[in-house]
Amino acid sequence: MLMLLPFLLFVFLVAVITFVGYRVLLRPSGGLDQLRTPAGAAESPAKSKGMNALPDLLEKMGGLMPVSPQDIELTRAELEAAGLRSRRAVTVLYGVKMAVAMTLFALDLIFRQQFIPNPILSTVSIIGLPILGYTLVGFVVDALITHRADEIRLGLPDALDMMVVCCEGGSALDQAILKVSQELKTVHPAIAEEFAIVNFEMLAGQSREAALRNLATRSREPELRKFASILIQTDRFGTSIMETLKAQADFMRVRRRQIAQEKASKVGVKIIFPIFFFCFPAMLIVVAGPGILQLMKNLFPMMRQVH
């Protein structure tokens, strides 16, 4: 049974690497193939069914979860902040939580006799591991939210600079937002997506103020919320948009430089622990190792002769 654990770990790692490679490398090429397909051509039913088998299964599992409407709305807001805006993203997320919890429960039942002989610890593990797996998925979502907020913060000064250029060229604010969403799609996809949603909402009939308020509500980045509030106030009071965008762009650029300097000043403290636990033992072995070996070679025989 102990020989089976490395094999299961190897299979798990292969599955994770395959899934990540499929999502990162193959899905963009699939989108290009879809663009090359004629408009009237339908996708193969077998291929569509095979690609959607796992999400459909997770969606069915998530639909079995007894979740209140308030929790669903809160989870949907968190997924939107992470950039996951599919209609079935909430149910798929709950399905993933249930699948991870069931997997850890099954692994605990299989290996509890070999690794957890204590009956008290086995009782705690059979309850705690599923709860831990259910909670870890939420931590992954929080990490995605933080990563997307960082991407938005890094791309916002460039977006403001482009908006300033567009407004100085005679474009209105709506056209500047549309231009930013088109031009920054490759460099800063997160901020381009947020601006594209604002443009779509205005095309759907919402006012500019309502679309900007929705932008501030969706995002978990404080700087983007400040930017949306400034644009709302500028539009309401009729002040100069170019001057406002220039001032906000300068502030964001200074703020980004200050954050970079703050992180650089923390490197000296953070690097102490890796040096102490990883580099220092190796240096100690290289420097003091020959002397210790010579000491053991010469001192131990002398100590035996004394006795």
In this prediction, residue 28 carries a pLDDT of 42
pLDDT of 38 reads 42
* Residue 293 forms part of a structural domain: no
The per-residue pLDDT for range 35-64, each reduced to its tens digit, is 334 444 444 554 455 556 777 777 777 777
Q: Domain for residue 302, yes or no?
A: no
SS3 52: coil
Task: Kindly report whether the global pTM for this prediction surpasses the value 0.95.
Answer: no
pLDDT number for residue 42: 45
**Domain presence at residue 212:** yes
Q: What is the pLDDT of residue 241?
A: 77
Alpha-carbon span 9 to 268, nearest angstrom: 36
The dihedrals phi and psi of 207, each to the nearest 5 degrees, come to -75, 165
How confident is the model over 172-208, as pLDDT tens digits? 888 888 888 888 888 888 888 888 988 888 888 888 8
By residue range, what is the domain housing residue 165? 150-265
- Amino acid symbol at 144: L
Residue 68 DSSP class: -
Tokens of residue 232, six digits: 């709302």
Closest CA to 214 of 110, 72, 81, 62: 81
Question: Which residue is listed with tokens 């299964």?
Answer: 57
Structural domain contains residue 129: no
CATH number, domain of 216, equals 1.20.81
The DSSP code for 221 is -
Residue 290, number of CB atoms within 10 A of its CB: 10
Residue ranges in the chain modelled with pLDDT below 70: 1-11, 13-14, 16-52, 112-118, 306-307
CB of 180 within 8 A of CB of 195?
A: yes
- Is residue 211 assigned to a domain? yes
Examine residue 180 and state whether it is found in any structural domain, yes or no: yes
What whole-number distance in Å separates Cα of residue 262 and Cα of residue 267?
9
Total number of residues shown for the chain: 307
What residue has token string 């088109």?
A: 182
Number of domains comprising the chain: 1
Q: Is residue 185 part of a domain?
A: yes
209 found inside a domain: yes
The predicted structure's pLDDT at residue 5: 58
